[in-house]
């Protein structure tokens, strides 16, 4: 029988490592949320706390937190030190899902296999739950990331990635490309370069930020930060291409959301521009690019290498 102390020092398989890290993220996320307290004196109304809990703790791949923890470890820091930043990233991601799912935006009923926030509650509550998660993310980074200089840098990175030159801009550009934002002036059809420009902001920015934040928290040298940033850019785009492929080929039950919606809505996707095989090939090239970027990290980059390749094979 192996003692748990011995087991903890063995190099765990990637899947086992990811499962353990996901559980640690989930526990920590739960602790950051306002309690569900029905007393009239509760600072956070129970309905708001329930809505935030419904969306934040309702499953999910936790990819952004995992990237942040793994980046910190790849730079010689501990996963534990990156947990607050990792949780903040998941809060920002979840807020963006809640708002994007609203009837005025993508109008989705299903997310992570459960009713979307405005379906489980109502639109007003969903808007506020999103606003609350976004704001709480900055509170968590500012209060809990150590040292203070890393906390401030992480607020900057997170705000830039999520803001009106990052994720919010990407969502706006995406709506315009679909022609669903009225009088948008968006082109009726575009190029793969325009599609990439959307995704670099809409999903890419918040997939790149975890790498930079993890590196900053671990006190990485500039070459280390740069290596992880190149990895993040490539992995972020590869992730999006696989997402587009899964919307065509994926299993709704595994995905926990509707599939086939992109083409219904006339969305710009990689398969639309490059075909299925061309898209797969591009995702593979990007994953290789991500792996190559990790070269300066040596064996410390092994888990991130494994993750980049595993993302190509994902089915949800």
Q: Name the residues that contact a copy of itself, by CB under 8 A.
A: 34, 38, 40-41, 43-49, 52, 95, 99, 102, 104-105, 121-125, 127-128, 130-136, 138-139, 141-143, 148-149, 151-152, 155-156, 158-160, 162-165, 168-169, 171-173, 175-176, 180-182, 184-185, 187, 194, 197, 201
Closer CB to a copy of itself, 44 or 110, in the complex: 44
Closer CB to a copy of itself, 143 or 276, in the complex: 143
269/241 Cα distance (integer angstroms): 8
Q: Which residues pair with 220 in a beta bridge?
A: none
Closer CB to a copy of itself, 134 or 218, in the complex: 134
Q: Which residues pair with 111 in a beta bridge?
A: 114
* Minimum separation from the CB atom of position 243 to a copy of itself (A): 21
3-state helix, strand, coil in the chain (%, to 5): 70, 0, 25
250/113 Cα distance (integer angstroms): 14
Among residues 61, 36, 59, 52, which one has the least CA distance to residue 114? 59
* Minimum separation from the CB atom of position 291 to a copy of itself (A): 28
Closer CB to a copy of itself, 95 or 231, in the complex: 95
Closer CB to a copy of itself, 88 or 286, in the complex: 88
Residue with tokens 């029905």: 38
* Minimum separation from the CB atom of position 167 to a copy of itself (A): 8
* Minimum separation from the CB atom of position 41 to a copy of itself (A): 7
236/159 Cα distance (integer angstroms): 18
Other C-beta atoms within 10 Å of 310: how many?
13
Task: Read off the tokens for 224.
Answer: 């280390």
């Amino acid at each position: 029988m192996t003692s748990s102390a011995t087991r903890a020092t063995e190099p765990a398989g990637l899947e086992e490592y990811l499962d353990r890290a996901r559980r640690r993220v989930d526990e920590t996320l739960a602790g950051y949320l306002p309690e569900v307290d029905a007393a009239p004196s509760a600072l956070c109304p129970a309905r708001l706390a329930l809505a935030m809990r419904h969306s934040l703790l309702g499953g999910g791949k936790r990819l952004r937190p995992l990237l942040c923890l793994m980046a910190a470890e790849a730079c010689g820091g501990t996963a534990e030190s990156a947990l607050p930043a990792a949780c903040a990233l998941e809060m920002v991601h979840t807020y963006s899902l809640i708002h994007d799912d609203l009837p005025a935006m993508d109008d989705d009923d299903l997310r992570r296999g459960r009713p979307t926030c405005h379906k489980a509650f109502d639109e007003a509550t969903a808007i506020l739950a999103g606003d609350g998660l976004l704001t709480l993310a900055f509170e968590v980074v500012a209060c809990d990331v150590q040292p203070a200089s890393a906390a401030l840098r992480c607020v900057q990175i997170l705000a830039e990635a999520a803001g009106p030159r990052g994720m919010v801009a990407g969502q706006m550009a995406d709506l315009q490309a679909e022609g669903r934002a009225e009088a948008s002036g968006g082109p009726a059809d575009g190029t793969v370069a325009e599609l990439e420009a959307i995704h670099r902001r809409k999903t890419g920015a918040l997939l790149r930020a975890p790498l930079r934040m993890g590196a900053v928290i671990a006190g990485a040298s500039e070459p280390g930060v740069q290596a992880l940033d190149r990895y993040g850019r490539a992995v972020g785009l590869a992730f999006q291409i696989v997402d587009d492929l899964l919307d065509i080929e994926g299993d709704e039950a595994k995905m926990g959301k509707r599939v086939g919606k992109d083409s219904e809505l006339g969305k710009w996707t990689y398969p639309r521009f490059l075909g299925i095989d061309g898209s797969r090939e591009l995702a593979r090239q990007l994953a290789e690019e991500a792996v190559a970027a990790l070269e300066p990290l040596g064996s410390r980059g092994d888990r991130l290498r494994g993750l980049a390749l595993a993302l190509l094979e994902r089915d949800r």
